[in-house]
A and B are shown apart, each in its own frame.
Chain A
Amino acid sequence: MGHLNKRLLLLPGLALLIYPLLPGASDYVLHVMTLALIYMVLAMGLNIVPGFCGLLDLGYVGFYGIGAYTAGLLTIHYGLSFWLIVPLAALNGALWGALLGAPTLRLTGDYFAIVTFGFSELVVLFLTNEIWLTRGPLGLPGIQPVTLDLSWLRPDWYFEFYDKAPNFYLAALLVALVFFVMGRMEDSRLGRAWYAIREDPLAAACCGVNILHYKVIAFSISAAIGAMGGCFYARWSMFLSPDMFKFWESFLVLCMVVLGGLGNIKGALVGATVLVCLGEVLREVLAAAGLPPETRFMAYGLIMVLIMRFRPAGLFPAIAASGRANPLLVVLGRRIAAGEFSGEKDDARGTSA
């Protein structure tokens, strides 16, 4: 049953991958699909901090913005290739993540949430006000699209990604890469240390996990992935402005992670898809109703509240994530409910009475 389900799920995924090659592919649909892929990268990146480590990060968009502007400025001023910029932007993101995380991650989650929030607001203020560098509210136009220079293989193999389809595949590649890395990290020593910290910091520390160390690593990796997403976004949209990196975006990405289930990588993918599609639908509906497009965030706010109230683990709870959902404990619970241990129960009652 489980295997069949997985195969069935793969089919629509493959169908979507072939879609850009079809003759009647609409540019709008491709655009939305690429946007969904970018948000998938962001959601997977953000997932590390609240999902794996249990810390609320409200400033994720700050790193996205840092990555995007790093890519934009390096492209415009130095004409560097996209393939070189991605690691540079990721490094820059990770650097800021470490700088912000190292002094603040020793605090409890609430304080950390607020610091990240303040940080992302400062990033937006910086991008708006340092006109000599970023052109401020005017934005940064004229960023070259991604190029792929394979002329050392064959002289005419030089591609510029002006079309929607190559960008879509590039984004899909990025998602696949991040997804693979995430999966490996989750199963590694690193991932287990993060889970331990999330479930019980004290117990983790007692087992020799250096909490601050692992939290800073988590935060830096998350920041690096956000910066990578921003890097692709800059080269894809070819225009940047500080307005694109407001708190709303952080909130939206957080909403995706929460919807999919905190700590669940696949859930983050589904959450990103659902909310990007919902955003497009709401854009049409709200415009028809004569309401400003920002009001779609009301729906997002409501989704967050309702999910936390009725399905705190999201649509797809991560199985190994919460102790209560642990298969071993579930089986044990079932056996206790079935009365398999009734003898011991009677004993317990006897001693307490």
Chain B
Amino acid sequence: MANLDSLFTAWLEGESLTDEQITLLQANAEYALMMSNAIKWQQQSREYETMKVPHWDRESSMPKVQKSHLFFGSGMWAMAASIALCAWLFMSNPQQGNQQLLEQVAKQTNLLESQQKQIDQLQNILTAQNQVQQQHMYQLAKEAIKTGRIERQEDIASVLAYIKTQRAQDQAYLRMQLNDLAEQVDGRPLPTVANNVEY
């Protein structure tokens, strides 16, 4: 059986067996079946037609790697260092370390409290600044609308004045022409005027 196993393994690994060895394997029902199944898989592999890769965005395989050191930007180094210091003190001298550890913890707590206060203050300042900025924006928007309205009114007024002037000039010109015409009519004999004949 062990011989059959090594023969079968050798066959699977691609070694060429003699006809006698193959006959030996095929004589055993279990190995014969495994052999035929392996042949079936080999046939699948040979006949396998490689599929084309559907269109895809290759650049999506390049995710933006997040910089881990950003995490240590805001006081995290101090925290890590103090924890490491506490651990070191505790490990180096447990009895004295306990006292120092407590002191260190108290210091750390104070530091954290003061940091929290600072953060709160900064947040208040930010909120206040946001409000001021919003008010300024509102004022600016109002001013812009108002200015726009006045400018539009001035433009319309100047257009109206221009039209009035133009109309006055047209009227004066027409008046002059009418006067000329009237003078010409006055100087002609009546029948000529009635028949509209060129003088």
A joins B in a complex: no
